Amino acid sequence: MMKSNSVKKGVQCAPSRSLLRALGLTEEELNRPLVAVVNSYNEVVPGHIHLNQLTEAVKAGIRINGGTPLEFPAIAVCDGIAMGHTGMKYSLVTRELVADSTEAMALAHAFDAMVMIPNCDKNVPGLLMAAARVNIPTIFISGGPMLAGRVNNQKTSLSSMFEAVGAFNAGKIDGEKLREFENNACPSCGSCSGMYTANSMNCLTEAIGMGLKGNGTVPAVYSERVRMAKRAGMQVMELLKADIKPSDIMTKDAFLNALAVDMALGCSTNTMLHLPAIAAECAVTIDPDLVNSISEKTPNLCHLAPAGNTYMEDLNVAGGIYAVMAEIDKIGAIRKDCMTVTGKTVGENIENAVILDKETIRPIDNPFSETGGITMLRGSLAPDTGVVKASAVLPEMMVHEGPAKVYNSEEEAQAAINSGQVVAGDVVVIRYVGPKGGPGMPEMLNPTSAIMGMGLGSSVALVTDGRFSGASRGACVGHVSPEAASGGPIGLVEDGDLIRIDIPAGTIDLLVDEEVLKVRKENWVPQEPAINKGYLKRYMKMVRSANEGAVLK
């Protein structure tokens, strides 16, 4: 029986039918399944500016296959625009807003099925969390990635733009060249063109089985994306007929597949916040030891920007996510029995997938590294965990020991880097920017980009209880837990303390005598949060540690 019958059938539903007719619905439309179309369109985010076109294509597909689409919105923040000011505190927290509001809309109106149309960083995991909660037949169709830009006849991306600012501040390029980057780095609509958080999550949506082939890689401006949206609308009706729900797809094995693909692709470290949060909604636990065990067994096959000079459009041409999955399946890294929104298993989906460009996707016997793109670290500085995108770290920085330069905000650190106070060998520590301390766990893309742009990427590390954009590269350790605001050791670090990072060994240590730290702990006073009102005040009181996915209690 259709869930929507609870608002459509019988004498008692005459009032709700009256309101549905007020929408302009005909008798024929009321007799069909009601399908929620969650449109994340807005005029602020370039990854979302084109989503109305995809939404209309989805609706057409639903109607073709006998459903009645009803659209409602979901919010999205552009991390690039929010970066470097108070706005970044409001980025991660929108994940829960998206999940909560979509859950409320879907259940309040008794929909039979859903199509999610997300694209950017927190919008994708928020809708995946909602899909798990609502648990009606659901399919995802993302907005797709931006095309790469071009400067000096070389492909560029948002990370190129941020690093150009660092180069300008260091006197390496002039204002005219900076303007050239500004005008050309982001040339089209879509999620920014490297393997940043948005594209990471859209690719992992495909890997986990909730999106059709190409969901993560087909560029936003391609007509293929519109055709895919129509197919998604048609396919959700097939899922409804077969009663295939998110709980049938997002199983523990499906998350293990997503983690393996994450390691092969070299995804954003933000996946270590989002995958555990989505999994928690599915009663699946992803802990740091599980992440490292998969990383140890899964080679890194891709070095997309910011790790290398290939982009999402190149990954698409090279065979996309199915080709990556087929390649790591050769070492048994893929659970092929998992159901997907295609109505087929993972094994059936990837059966004929092959690599078409062995530089963009390297074969299993010629990886960029024998281990995965993400490493979880533990040690006296991060007793619970820290995380680093190992695939984007220069070889000479895989092990680094240096004196701490400590800052209690991103703004302090940025000013110090720009003024030349950070020098080769240093370990920049930015604290009180975690889930509670930020509040909201802002990204540190400006400082990491400044370090790289000023030519310090081969000699300076950065450690924070905040997080990084997927566009960050270098020896950047984020999500340090416990965070400073919760009394973690990162709150006890002083200028000049030696910090040792050993990525191959999975360790990060504060080389200070325990007795000294004990005295510091006794005298420690937490810093007051920068914002202590409104939604962030509630969030700060409810949010859990980064190593638990920064989910709310």
Catalytic residue list: 469
Tell me the backbone φ, ψ of residue 49, rounded to 5 degrees.
Answer: -65, -20
Q: Which H, E and C letters describe 413-466, residue by residue? A: HHHHHHCCCCCCCCEEEECCCCCCCCCCCCECHHHHHHHHHCCCCCCCEEEECC
β-strand partners of 72? 38
CA 76 to chain centre: 13
How many angstroms separate the CA atoms of 207 and 215, rounded? 10
Supply 479's token pair: 């999500």
How many angstroms separate the CA atoms of 468 and 442, rounded? 8
Distance set, CA 436 to CA 48, 280, 332 (Å): 29, 20, 39
356 half-sphere exposure, CB direction, 13 A CA radius: 12
Supply 492's token pair: 């006890």
3 state SS of 94: helix
How many angstroms separate the CA atoms of 410 and 414, rounded? 6
CB count within 10 Å of CB 95 equals 27
CB count within 10 Å of CB 241 equals 14
Handedness of CA 54, 60, 64, 68 (dihedral sign): positive
Task: Check: CB of residue 245 under 8 Å from CB of residue 135.
Answer: yes
How many angstroms separate the CA atoms of 166 and 448, rounded? 9
Task: Check: CB of residue 194 under 8 Å from CB of residue 157.
Answer: yes
Give kind and range of the element (H or E) at residue 388. Answer: strand 385-388
β-strand partners of 39? 73, 117
How many angstroms separate the CA atoms of 160 and 135, rounded? 40
Distance set, CA 526 to CA 61, 490, 505, 523, 541 (Å): 54, 12, 31, 10, 15
CB count within 10 Å of CB 301 equals 28
The single residue listed with the structure tokens 């057409």 is: 60
User: Could you please report the per-residue DSSP string of 421-436?
Assistant: -S-TT-EEEE-S-STT
How many angstroms separate the CA atoms of 478 and 84, rounded? 17
Instruction: Quickly list H helices, 185-319.
Output: 197-208, 223-242, 246-249, 252-265, 271-281, 288-297, 312-317
363 half-sphere exposure, CB direction, 13 A CA radius: 5
Supply 67's token pair: 């459903």
